[in-house]
C-alpha cells in the first residue's frame, strides 16, 4: 500500500494544514495519487511545547476533528516530526512520539548546522527506548552539512526518510541514488504542508523512483502490522 511517512495533514497544529477543509483537500489529493496510508507527523519542537502530554492532547484533538469529517483516506497513523535539540533524549515521554503502534520515530536535524551532540541525542533515543530512528529528509542537508557530517548522519543505525521532492533536483537525485547503492533502507514521504507550494507529490515519486524503491518503502508499516 502506497504510504506517506511524513505529512502535515492534521489541521491547526503546526505550519501545515490550517483547517479541516484544507486537510480534507490534501488527503483527497494524496488518495488520487494512490496513497492508502498516511503517517501524520506534526512538528514537535521541545523548546516551544509545554511538554509531551500537552502536545499529544493537542494532536489527538486535531486528529478527532479530522476523522469526524470523513477524510478520503482513513488509515491515518499518528506520529511526530521531532526536532533534534540538546537534551531531547532525556525529555520525559519522548518515546510516545514514535509512530503509533511502532518503534519508529521521525527525527529532524535542525537547519542551523551540524553538531556532534545531535548524533549522541539520536543514539540515546534509540538505545534508551529501543526505538528505530527515521531521519527526516536527509537530502535537504547536502548543502548545509559538510561531507563528513553527512557521513556521520548516514552511519547512524537508522532508516532514512526522503521527501518525494528529492527527485526534482539533480544533486539531490544523485544523493538518493547513492543511498540506495550503499544499501540504506529509505522510506518516502510528501512532507505536504498545504495545497500550494507544498502540496502532495506522490505523482512525482511514482514517475521518477524505481518501483522497487517505492515497494520497499511501503512495506515498513506492513511489518509493524498497520
Q: Which residues bind Fe ion (CB under 5 A)?
A: 81, 191
Bridge-based pairing state of the strands 3-4 and 37-40: parallel
Q: Which residue lies nearer to Fe ion by CB, 81 or 121?
A: 81
Closest residue to Fe ion: CB criterion: 191
CB of 81 to Fe ion, least distance (A): 5
Q: Which of 5, 16, 80, 168 is nearest to 25 (CA)?
A: 16
The half-sphere exposure of 173 on its side-chain side, counting CA atoms within 13 A, is 9
User: Residues 223, 158, 187, CA angle at the centre, nearest 5°?
Assistant: 55
CB of 6 to Fe ion, least distance (A): 6
CB of 193 to Fe ion, least distance (A): 7
CB of 45 to Fe ion, least distance (A): 12
Q: Which residue lies nearer to Fe ion by CB, 134 or 176?
A: 134
Whats the size of the chain, residue-wise?
226
User: Over the range 175-214, which residues count as b (16 or more CB within 10 Å of their CB) and which as e?
Assistant: bbeebbeeebebbbbbbbbbeeebebbbebbeeebeeebb
CB of 197 to Fe ion, least distance (A): 14
Q: Is residue 59 classed as helix, strand or coil in its secondary structure?
A: helix
Distance CA 122, CA 108 (A): 10
Q: Which residue lies nearer to Fe ion by CB, 58 or 223?
A: 58
Q: Which residue lies nearer to Fe ion by CB, 106 or 221?
A: 106
Q: Which residue lies nearer to Fe ion by CB, 9 or 209?
A: 9
Amino acid at each position: 500500500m502506497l504510504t506517506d511517512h511524513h505529512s502535515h495533514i492534521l489541521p491547526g497544529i503546526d505550519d501545515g494544514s490550517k483547517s479541516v477543509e484544507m486537510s480534507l483537500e490534501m488527503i483527497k489529493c494524496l488518495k488520487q495519487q494512490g496513497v492508502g496510508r498516511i503517517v501524520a507527523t506534526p512538528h514537535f519542537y521541545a523548546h516551544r511545547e509545554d511538554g509531551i502530554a500537552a502536545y499529544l492532547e493537542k494532536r489527538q484533538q486535531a486528529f478527532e476533528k479530522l476523522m469526524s469529517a470523513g477524510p478520503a483516506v482513513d488509515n491515518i497513523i499518528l506520529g511526530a516530526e521531532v526536532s533534534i535539540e540538546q537534551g531531547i533524549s532525556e525529555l520525559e515521554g519522548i518515546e510516545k512520539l514514535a509512530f503509533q503502534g511502532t518503534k519508529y520515530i521521525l527525527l529532524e536535524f535542525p537547519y542551523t548546522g551540524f553538531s556532534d551532540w545531535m548524533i549522541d541525542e539520536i543514539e540515546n533515543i534509540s538505545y534508551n527506548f529501543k526505538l528505530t530512528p527515521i531521519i527526516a529528509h536527509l537530502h535537504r542537508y547536502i548543502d548545509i552539512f559538510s561531507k563528513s557530517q553527512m557521513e556521520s548522519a548516514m552511519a547512524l543505525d537508522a532508516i532514512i526518510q526522503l521527501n518525494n521532492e528529492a527527485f526534482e533536483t539533480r544533486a539531490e537525485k544523485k544523493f538518493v541514488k547513492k543511498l540506495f547503492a550503499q544499501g540504506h533502507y529509505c522510506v518516502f514521504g510528501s512532507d505536504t504542508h498545504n495545497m500550494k507550494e507544498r502540496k502532495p507529490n506522490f505523482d512525482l515519486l511514482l514517475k521518477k523512483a524505481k518501483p522497487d524503491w517505492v515497494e520497499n518503502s511501503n512495506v515498513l508499516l506492513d511489518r509493524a502490522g498497520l
